[in-house]
Amino acid sequence: MSLSTGLILRLEPLYMSDIKKVVLAYSGGLDTSVIVRWLQDTYNCEVVTFTADLGQGEEVEPARAKAEALGVKEIYIEDLREEFVRDFVFPMFRANTIYEGEYLLGTSIARPLIAKRLIEIANETGADAISHGATGKGNDQIRFELGAYALKPGVAVIAPWREWDLTSRETLMKYCEEHDIPVDFSNKKKKSPYSMDANLLHISYEGDILEDPWAEAEDDMWRWSVSPEEAPDQATYMDLTYEKGDIVAIDGKAMSPATVLEYLNKVGGENGIGRLDIVENRFVGMKSRGCYETPGGTIMLRAHRAIESITLDREAAHLKDELMPRYAKVIYNGFWWSEERKMLQQMIDESQRYVNGDVRLKLYKGNVIVVGRRSEDTLFDESIATFEDDAGSYDQKDAAGFIKLNALRMRIEAGKGRDLS
Amino acid sequence: MSLSTGLILRLEPLYMSDIKKVVLAYSGGLDTSVIVRWLQDTYNCEVVTFTADLGQGEEVEPARAKAEALGVKEIYIEDLREEFVRDFVFPMFRANTIYEGEYLLGTSIARPLIAKRLIEIANETGADAISHGATGKGNDQIRFELGAYALKPGVAVIAPWREWDLTSRETLMKYCEEHDIPVDFSNKKKKSPYSMDANLLHISYEGDILEDPWAEAEDDMWRWSVSPEEAPDQATYMDLTYEKGDIVAIDGKAMSPATVLEYLNKVGGENGIGRLDIVENRFVGMKSRGCYETPGGTIMLRAHRAIESITLDREAAHLKDELMPRYAKVIYNGFWWSEERKMLQQMIDESQRYVNGDVRLKLYKGNVIVVGRRSEDTLFDESIATFEDDAGSYDQKDAAGFIKLNALRMRIEAGKGRDLS
Amino acid sequence: MSLSTGLILRLEPLYMSDIKKVVLAYSGGLDTSVIVRWLQDTYNCEVVTFTADLGQGEEVEPARAKAEALGVKEIYIEDLREEFVRDFVFPMFRANTIYEGEYLLGTSIARPLIAKRLIEIANETGADAISHGATGKGNDQIRFELGAYALKPGVAVIAPWREWDLTSRETLMKYCEEHDIPVDFSNKKKKSPYSMDANLLHISYEGDILEDPWAEAEDDMWRWSVSPEEAPDQATYMDLTYEKGDIVAIDGKAMSPATVLEYLNKVGGENGIGRLDIVENRFVGMKSRGCYETPGGTIMLRAHRAIESITLDREAAHLKDELMPRYAKVIYNGFWWSEERKMLQQMIDESQRYVNGDVRLKLYKGNVIVVGRRSEDTLFDESIATFEDDAGSYDQKDAAGFIKLNALRMRIEAGKGRDLS
Amino acid sequence: MSLSTGLILRLEPLYMSDIKKVVLAYSGGLDTSVIVRWLQDTYNCEVVTFTADLGQGEEVEPARAKAEALGVKEIYIEDLREEFVRDFVFPMFRANTIYEGEYLLGTSIARPLIAKRLIEIANETGADAISHGATGKGNDQIRFELGAYALKPGVAVIAPWREWDLTSRETLMKYCEEHDIPVDFSNKKKKSPYSMDANLLHISYEGDILEDPWAEAEDDMWRWSVSPEEAPDQATYMDLTYEKGDIVAIDGKAMSPATVLEYLNKVGGENGIGRLDIVENRFVGMKSRGCYETPGGTIMLRAHRAIESITLDREAAHLKDELMPRYAKVIYNGFWWSEERKMLQQMIDESQRYVNGDVRLKLYKGNVIVVGRRSEDTLFDESIATFEDDAGSYDQKDAAGFIKLNALRMRIEAGKGRDLS
């Protein structure tokens, strides 16, 4: 008898009309406030709000009153900064992760944590669905939903932007009026023309004039960093201390993961570091222009490569480099909670056992300059590399045999008359 | 009957004593001048010298008189700058090639061309051996010799630094005296304490205080660029025009490959761009500290990614990114003249068919900032990516199905009780 | 001014009700006959049928009368066997392509050709849509549609199985009665319980008892091969001649691509070769059980590796092996008509320049045994590999240096106290 | 102050004349017996012999008397079969490892264990060197020596075949006479003309007529298996039970790792399974012809893929497949004791957590046929894959969106006029 006869995916075909309770990723802003009301009205269900402090730089506590005003009874407001950096940002940086040669994945890496908490809260509150405010054109819907499905396969997902017809600012404002959504939810200060996302790792900008990739970003768009021009004329030096691939102290002072990143953001931003302006390929198949400020991440990437440069085995480093684009793609596409990410992480983490030591940096007007690296675990051996006498630790004659055997296959081919030029 | 019975590698066991004529990569400097004499004495053979202008920034013509003074009869002095950039540098940059995340392969990419000319000259002059001045600890010996063997499998290679006992400056100078090597061959101006190599792509520094990776490079070491601090306070804007992945014009002015690189070196160096200080892994198995100035290359790398960002298919870009570290390793390790490099190059070149258009850059105190990119072949489609109305070119509801099927395998796994968190 | 302002995807939001003419991949069987009528009724549009002989082993000409009976005016019936093998099967086999270690991609490789012809016929006949009979759970819908979209981006695609409610045999038969679909379209001989697909490369079986992966396939399911038990007691020897990686002659007799594959299928099937029973991962996210008979393909895979074993450079072979799973996935997932497939194909084809020569095989009761390989382009050099005297073509002492430098990085690590065990 | 100033590789330049004691991998055969005496004479040092039972099928105990007769005082004779299969063979098979598409790495995987024991014995006995009987043309010298250097970086290695001049059978026999090496050490029965190596995973044959790759191997060469022709006319069925990717029981009977392999070798060999005849690429750069018998390994490879086919996540499987050739190369080239092997192993082992269940095989005249697989951890879900009603667990309409977004990038490209055909 086969052991595989049972149904695995016992999904009662869940009719959307059956939904009783939904957990919403709630920012407290206008859009997600509209979503609260829209969910209540459309699905006739209870809404649980979840608001997280991931270091976006705005108070999260005000979301409570707003949610209450919308009749929400279960309100989750949490400070996830340490968990975010320790369990998501740091593991990602161990791989020197960059998407498409440029992007430090600031948005991508925050989504799996939000997905995880949405599902945990759904389990705690007995909710059968989750919801979010991401549009149907972007990557974030995918990251939220893949995470949710991976952690709770029978969950229902409601993505209002893919369902409703409130597709313009006007229709949205009209909905507010008609549904008694308090006016002050809408930001009174001049609204940024950009679509933005922020967390402790970065802030991103999309839309408006950025939709023309030939148009230079305006200088007043940027919020976290001064321009290189406005940065101090004096360089800032800094020592970072690594243990197993993670920064544990700066200038000799031990710091928690979130504190490390906050500090690097501050100093990096002051020195004009971490601005990026790119066109990237979304998982949904289109190209999009994005501007990003990642001061701390830009510093961490450079410094991590520097500490690895003296502590990591060559083939380990090359294996990591060859798999990095794939690992980046896994994260960018939203597959953090997957077997392939776990496998890659195991491999990466294994390599970091000896990635300990100090990196000295010079920060100056947008530049992150590595000026020194040292480690008890260094593999750099002056006595071998030296141009001076090496006391016999390396026999130059070995190189002749090394080259001869590396050349053998090509010599045979050329000997057969093959043209290798 | 088998077709494979014959000997492929008909190498008469070539006794070194049988060598009649050797082609030497000759710089005109002291070391390679000593090698000329040492080859004449040790192998009792004729020496042909080959001196190439690869853009190292020093006159090559003076090498003629020096060679003549050493009794050399066949003297080759050649300007290879255009060939170097067109057939080696440009193809490499089509792949956004970087070794170990940092190094732009400035030395590595020049060696295959020198190897090729050494062999071509050996064929022209009837020489049975080639020789070079690279030491037994470095990568260059490998790059010269693999190239030579691949292009002429029966050639003999003489690497004096692996053979002789002139291993200190003193013994070398003594040899000069004893063998009548004109004193003025030795550089009278204060010799740099660094071991350097230069060509149109870069200049490199090794040795001396750099042998301590914690020591910051001294500012007066650098020769091709000002420091970011000393660069102009005013940014320089520049438009680069690409055809099939190569730069063909700057600021609207058509330029040859070598002219492009010379120009970018100049402007880049003036703006403090392209300094690099790393510890790298040599093919011979040790780590070594190197400092590099690559002003033009640093600009080209950034700009090429920018033009690709709007013209290259996503999966083509990702495939290139995943194979780039391997392609870089092939070049770094000296396998330019190999079947695997040809295969990778075919793949890379295929991808560049539509990599046409303009990139606008802002250069400022060490920063290369992409501020615009445009192309007749752009794949960026504002009408799809827009946050505004897209006139039906993208149906957001498609995303729901896209996500559901991407999630299916993980839902099944979670449905079986597997923990994906 | 930006060059990228225009709309790229000028998709008039094509309302399905606007469709005037659709090209259908038509087998002549009951299902696709129902689709003809259903398209005519549902979309009130003209249907063009396209029926191809890809070597499935059934007459295609009878499809003409059936299509005529359904009122079809434009009927395409074509013999594509040579094009199929020459431009799809052979290029794929140059890469030794296998999906998930087992599957020879018999179904996958036929779809791009059908997609291409559907689009070409749509262009010829002025049709604005294509249609096919693949279900919404399988890979084939994807392969057809990705191909169609890649070759004609504005085409509409109608996939009846994803739209209609004729989801059981009963509803389908009822539809036939109600819509005057001639009774004899339904196969009178006892219908196979399996879902099958066939072309010159293979025949596949899915469904019925195969849905239990613990159940052994029944012996009377298989159609193209005898079982190993029933194969002759005498082995069959065969010589295959390769040029640039493709078979051009068998036992010294030149043959066209399709003839090669037909012949190998015949001889392979007689010798019990090419049965496969696997569970594979579909692109849509589920696992499915499939049984396949690929007699000729099984022989070709083994033989191609054999001719490569003596003619291909080692690193070329390894590069191909590392990229093969990815190339297989590209084809399996339906991305034949894509930039990444073109790039990979360029790389693969480059490697086949010298893959010439003969392979001798012994076929016996399911076994494909390589017993000899020879080539004018062989890289196997007895004089070097021999255990006997090699006349100096290889100096064993070179190996010492080769090993020492390969070991250096690990010696340094162990010297630092790292535990590599 | 830098932390990296000290010497890492404190290799007293070890003069070979200083060697006091050497541990030799000793088979008890003529060649390694000559080596014992040659080491004693040449290096004037003490020799420790190490003889291991790795399942090669010959008694190891007789090596004791022979070693004693040669004056050896420290004699190690060990049964390593369980360790060999548990810690080397099984981990390798978790990756479905094959070198160059064919070779199951039978020789390669045994060398790291021997290297490890050589070094452990060197540490126990205070020896400063190790020695082995591998020639300078093969891979085994590399595997032994890389392992030794990785585990004891300061060890000296003596490879007599690279040093001495006993390069023919005659000179070797002459040496025996002159040095009193007992005659009966030489095998009296007709010596096989092949160079062979055996352990529990395989037996290999090289040399003699195999040096012509067009010559078919003679049937009386093979020792572990009958030919398919001579195998029983009745198939053998067998159930293998897996836990975490390793076989733990056969036909319901729990077995230790070595017992599993012994049993599979026996049954496989009886059924004509596991013969292989290939030309492979050695690490030293040449191609060589080898014949291998790997009955148990051939069965294990097929069965492991089968159990993975129902229990492994798709992307995990594909990641493994893409890295497998590299993992195979790492082992083939002798880098088992390296950081990159550890990293890859971590990744592979992570994937095997749920690779549990049963595989049913049919063995018949050289064929290993998978006829069933089942598992408590199966991911095969009949309810989804079925052609019948799936009770709503899969919505076919999702496929439309899935395809549309997968096609988007190609539609945009085609919309720009790019030719993807």
Q: pLDDT tens, D84-100?
A: 999 999 999 999 999 99
Q: Which residues of C touch B310 (CB under 8 A)?
A: 4
Q: How many domains does chain B have?
A: 2
ipTM: 0.95
Whether residue A247 sits in one domain with residue A158: no
Tokens of C104: 């020879």
**Closest Cβ opposite residue A344 in set D310, D347, D372:** D347
Return the residue of A nearest to D408 by Cα: A285
Q: Which one has a higher pLDDT value, A159 or B182?
A: A159
* Nearest-CA distance B379 → chain C (Å): 8
Q: What is the pLDDT of residue D394?
A: 85
B349 is catalytic: no
To the question of whether residue B103 is assigned a binding role by annotation, the answer is yes
Inter-chain residue contact C2 with A214, CB threshold 8 Å: yes
Q: Which residues of B touch A369 (CB under 8 A)?
A: 275, 277
* Nearest-CA distance B68 → chain A (Å): 30
Inter-chain residue contact A420 with B337, CB threshold 8 Å: yes
Alpha-carbon separation of residue D158 from A89, D135, D294 (angstroms):
49, 11, 31
pLDDT tens, A263-293? 999 999 999 999 999 999 999 999 999 999 9
CA pair distance D296, D298, nearest whole angstrom: 5
A 243-282 → B contacts, CB under 8 A: 275, 277-281
Tokens of C208: 């019925």
Q: Which entry of D140, D197, D246, D358 is annotated as an active-site residue? A: D140
Q: Locate tokens 């270690």: which residue?
A: C101
Tokens of B236: 């320089």
Inter-chain residue contact D4 with A374, CB threshold 8 Å: yes
Q: What is the pLDDT of residue C253?
A: 98
Inter-chain residue contact A379 with D286, CB threshold 8 Å: no
Q: Which one has a higher pLDDT value, D174 or A36?
A: A36
Residue B188 has pLDDT above 60, yes or no: no
Q: What is the pLDDT of residue A391?
A: 60
Whether residue D170 sits in one domain with residue D291: no
Inter-chain residue contact B421 with A151, CB threshold 8 Å: yes
Q: Which entry of D64, D87, D186, D195 is annotated as an active-site residue? A: D195
Return the residue of D nearest to A11 by Cα: D393
Q: What is the pLDDT of residue B190?
A: 57
A13 band by pLDDT with thresholds 50, 70 and 90 = very low
Nearest to A76 by CA among A85, A67, A84: A67
Residue A366 has pLDDT above 50, yes or no: yes
Q: What is the pLDDT of residue A421?
A: 87
Percent of chain A with pLDDT strictly greater than 70: 92
Q: Is the separation of the CB atoms in D354 and D377 below 8 Å?
A: yes
Whether residue A229 sits in one domain with residue A153: no
B171 band by pLDDT with thresholds 50, 70 and 90 = confident
Whether residue A211 sits in one domain with residue A175: no
Whether residue D361 sits in one domain with residue D216: yes
Q: What is the pLDDT of residue C189?
A: 52
Judge whether A380 lies within some domain: no
Inter-chain residue contact A214 with C4, CB threshold 8 Å: yes
| A65 in D contact zone (CB under 8 Å) | no
Taking residues A153-182, report their average pLDDT.
89
Q: Which residues neighbour A332 within 8 Å (Cβ) at sequence distance 6 or greater?
A: A99, A103, A105, A108, A139, A283
* Nearest-CA distance A201 → chain B (Å): 21
Judge whether A418 lies within some domain: no
Q: Which residues of C touch D136 (CB under 8 A)?
A: 396-400
Q: Which residues of A touch B406 (CB under 8 A)?
A: 142, 146, 334
**Closest Cβ opposite residue A418 in set C4, C354, C409:** C354
CA pair distance B317, A287, nearest whole angstrom: 12
Whether residue C271 sits in one domain with residue C240: yes
CATH number at residue D146: 3.40.50.620
Judge whether C227 lies within some domain: yes
Residue A6 has pLDDT above 60, yes or no: no
Inter-chain residue contact D343 with A351, CB threshold 8 Å: yes
| A378 in D contact zone (CB under 8 Å) | yes
Strands (E) in D230-294, as ranges, are 236-243, 246-250, 253-254, 275-281, 287-293
| A417 in D contact zone (CB under 8 Å) | no
Whether the model clears a pTM of 0.90, i.e. scores above it, the answer is yes
Q: What is the pLDDT of residue B5?
A: 45
Judge whether A67 lies within some domain: yes
Judge whether A409 lies within some domain: no
Tokens of D209: 């007529």
Whether residue B173 sits in one domain with residue B106: yes
Residue B12 has pLDDT above 50, yes or no: no
Q: Which entry of B64, B87, B186, B195 is annotated as an active-site residue? A: B195
**Closest Cβ opposite residue B213 in set D4, D377, D398:** D4
Give chain A as a 3 state SS string: CCCCCCCCCCCCCCCHHHCCEEEEECCCCHHHHHHHHHHHHHHCCEEEEEEEECCCCCCCCHHHHHHHHCCCCEEEEEECHHHHHHHHHHHHHCCCCCECCCECCCCCCCHHHHHHHHHHHHHHHCCCEEECCCCCCCCHHHHHHHHHHHHCCCCEEECHHHHCCCCCHHHHHHHHHHCCCCHHHCCCCCCCCCEEEECCCCEEEECHHHHCCCCCCCHHHCCCCCCHHHCCCCCEEEEEEEECCEEEEECCEECCHHHHHHHHHHHHHHCCCCEEEEEEECCCCCEEEEEEECHHHHHHHHHHHHHHHHHCCHHHHHHHHHHHHHHHHHHHCCCCCCHHHHHHHHHHHHHCCCCCEEEEEEEECCEEEEEEEECCCCCCCHHHHCCCCCCCCCCCCHHHHHHHHHHHHHHHHHHCCCCCC
**Closest Cβ opposite residue C214 in set D9, D280, D372:** D372
Chains in contact with A, counting 3 or more C-beta pairs less than 8 Å apart as contact:
B, C, D
* Nearest-CA distance A315 → chain D (Å): 6
Return the residue of A nearest to D335 by Cα: A315
Whether residue C219 sits in one domain with residue C172: no
Q: Which entry of A192, A195, A309, A338 is annotated as an active-site residue? A: A195
SS3 of residue C240 by DSSP: strand
Q: Which of A322-336, D35-49, D187-201, D298-312 has the lowest mean pLDDT?
A: D187-201
Q: Report how many Cβ contacts below 8 Å link chain A to chain D.
A: 139
To the question of whether residue A32 is assigned a binding role by annotation, the answer is yes
Q: Report how many Cβ contacts below 8 Å link chain A to chain C.
A: 88
A17 is catalytic: no
Inter-chain residue contact B365 with A369, CB threshold 8 Å: no
Nearest to C88 by CA among C345, C372, C401, C313: C345
Whether residue C134 sits in one domain with residue C35: yes
Return the residue of D nearest to A393 by Cα: D11
Q: What is the pLDDT of residue D182?
A: 75
Whether residue B301 sits in one domain with residue B210: yes
Q: Which of A343-352, A385-394, A407-416 has the lowest mean pLDDT?
A: A385-394
Judge whether B389 lies within some domain: no
Taking residues D154-163, report their average pLDDT.
95
CATH number at residue C292: 3.90.1260.10
Inter-chain residue contact D416 with C8, CB threshold 8 Å: yes
Inter-chain residue contact A9 with D339, CB threshold 8 Å: no
Tokens of C74: 């434009």
Q: Which entry of D81, D94, D111, D289 is annotated as an active-site residue? A: D111
B302 is catalytic: no
To the question of whether residue A27 is assigned a binding role by annotation, the answer is yes
Give the residue ranges of chain C where pLDDT is below 70. Answer: 1-15, 183-190, 385-392
Q: Is the separation of the CB atoms in C377 and C356 below 8 Å?
A: yes
Inter-chain residue contact C214 with A402, CB threshold 8 Å: no
As a whole number, the mean pLDDT across chain A is: 93
Nearest to D2 by CA among B279, C306, A273: B279
Inter-chain residue contact A374 with D409, CB threshold 8 Å: no
Judge whether D239 lies within some domain: yes
Q: What residue numbers bound the domain in which A296 lies? A: 195-311+354-374
Judge whether A338 lies within some domain: no
Dmax of chain A from CA atoms?
Answer: 86
Whether residue A253 sits in one domain with residue A147: no
Q: What is the pLDDT of residue A258?
A: 98
Chains in contact with C, counting 3 or more C-beta pairs less than 8 Å apart as contact:
A, B, D
Q: Is the separation of the CB atoms in D385 and C289 below 8 Å?
A: yes
Taking residues A147-171, report their average pLDDT.
92
pLDDT tens, D202-250? 999 999 999 999 999 999 999 999 999 999 999 999 999 999 999 999 9
Q: Locate tokens 């953090």: which residue?
A: A336
C 320-359 → D contacts, CB under 8 A: 321-322, 325-326, 329, 337-339, 342
Q: Is the separation of the CB atoms in B322 and A325 below 8 Å?
A: yes
Q: Which of A148, A179, A210 is the last residue of a domain?
A: A179
Q: Which residues neighbour C331 within 8 Å (Cβ) at sequence distance 6 or greater?
A: C92, C97, C99, C105, C108, C109, C341
Whether residue A205 sits in one domain with residue A144: no
